[in-house]
Structure 1
Amino acid sequence: MTIVEFLFARLDEDERAAHAASSATGGPSRARADVDAKRRIVRGYVVAHEACMNGLGAHGRSAAPPPADAWAALHAWRRALEHLAAVYETHPDYEESWRG
């Protein structure tokens, strides 16, 4: 399981639980908005990852590799995912390699 798959599965669980969120924490609408914001972060990583991997080409090389700032952005997105995943570190599918 990848960190992306792990996070999307946990966020699906969180969304199902959102209907029970108390008004003290903003209620269900705030809980769903929180899940949606986290999904956008995960999708941002997916887009950045695909852009960098597509720039490498089929054999790991291309005529014009992604610029260094694309790799820096990908690293920043990855760190964000590691922080999101840390919330679920007690889940049996959590992998220690995701610990930032």
Structure 2
Amino acid sequence: MTIVEFLDARLYEDERAAHAASRATGGPQRARADVAAKRRILQSYTETYRACVAAMGDGSGQADGSDTWAALHAWRQALEHLAAIYDTHPDYDPSWQS
């Protein structure tokens, strides 16, 4: 299981549980907004990853003149921080620790 698949599954679970969020934590609307923000982070990582793979294919190592490798590394670190929230889950991979 990849870190993206792991996080996607956890976000799906969080989204299903959002309706039970208490007012003290901002209620269901805030819980759903949190899940949506994390999904956007996953999407941005996936897009950057694809840009890096495409750059490797053309031999340039860069896409659109930007340092996509540094961007990919930064996004990967963000995913590792998000995954750490679920470090007690049986599918969590300790190699994802930053």
Normalised by the length of structure 2, the TM-score is 0.93
Q: Which residue of 1 aligns with 2:27?
A: 27
> Which residue identity lines up with residue 76 of structure 2 in the other structure?
R
> Which residue identity lines up with residue 18 of structure 2 in the other structure?
A
Q: Give distance in 2, aligned partners of 1:81 and 1:70.
A: 16
Q: Give distance in 2, aligned partners of 1:15 and 1:26.
A: 14
Q: Give distance in 1, aligned partners of 2:59 and 2:89.
A: 42
1:49-88 deviations in whole A, cap 9, x for unaligned?
A: 000011111xxxx342216721111100000000000000
Displacement over 4 Å in runs of 4+: none
> Which residue identity lines up with residue 90 of structure 1 in the other structure?
T
Normalised by the length of structure 1, the TM-score is 0.92
Residue 55 (str. 1) matches residue 48 (str. 2): no
Q: Give distance in 2, aligned partners of 1:64 and 1:75.
A: 18
Q: Give distance in 1, aligned partners of 2:59 and 2:95.
A: 32
1:11-54 deviations in whole A, cap 9, x for unaligned?
A: 00000000000011100000000000000001100000000011
* 1:88 partner SS: coil
Count of aligned pairs: 96
Q: Give distance in 2, aligned partners of 1:99 and 1:55.
A: 27
Instruction: State percent identity of aligned pairs.
Output: 67
> Which residue identity lines up with residue 25 of structure 1 in the other structure?
T
> Which residue identity lines up with residue 39 of structure 1 in the other structure?
R
Q: Give distance in 1, aligned partners of 2:12 and 2:88.
A: 17
- Supply the RMSD in Å over aligned alpha carbons: 1.1
